[in-house]
Amino acid sequence: MKKHEIEKPDEFLKLIETKGNDYLYHDHPNDGIDLFCDKELEDMGWHASTFEFLTYRDIANFIEENCEGTLTFNDHPMGFNGFVEVDDIEDVRVKVKKFIIEQINANKPDELNEDQLEAFEFFNIS
């Protein structure tokens, strides 16, 4: 993933306003990553986060390390602020789903709660 740093916070905030419909997620200094703007990825993130070992940040790290796109950010003393635009959402969906399933299979809890059982069904894990 390409990285594009914008040094002035005001310029970054203006860019956030104009790119709001284009980015996959926004990493905000107060909230971190609280949702994916793509419905399919948001559903995956929601179900994955029922497991303590998977967070939205884990999924975002995977995307930033394994998918094509651009991470635009402002690393200000008040906190990191960034957003990601991906080149091929279909490719990202396939890779993220595979990553999540691998993580769940590698870290399966002995007992599953109701939400985790629902996640197993969602990801077609037996």
Question: Which residue has 């559903």 as its token pair?
Answer: 43
**Which stretches of the chain are DSSP H helices?**
9-19, 39-48, 56-66, 89-106, 114-122
* Residue 75 dihedral angles phi and psi, to the nearest 5°: -95, 80
Instruction: Say what the pLDDT of residue 65 is.
Output: 97
Mean pLDDT of all residues belonging to the chain = 93
Contacts of 67 (CB under 8 A, 6+ apart): 1, 86, 87, 88, 91, 92, 95
Q: Over the range 46-67, which residues count as b (16 or more CB within 10 Å of their CB) and which as e?
A: bbbbbbeebebebbbebbbeeb
Question: Which residue has 């629902």 as its token pair?
Answer: 118
Pick the closest to residue 33 from 7, 8, 6, 55 (CA basis): 55
pTM of the predicted model as reported, rounded to 2 decimal places? 0.92
In this prediction, residues 95-111 reach a mean pLDDT of: 96
pLDDT bin (cut points 50, 70, 90) of residue 73 is very high
pLDDT tens digits, 54-65: 999 999 999 999
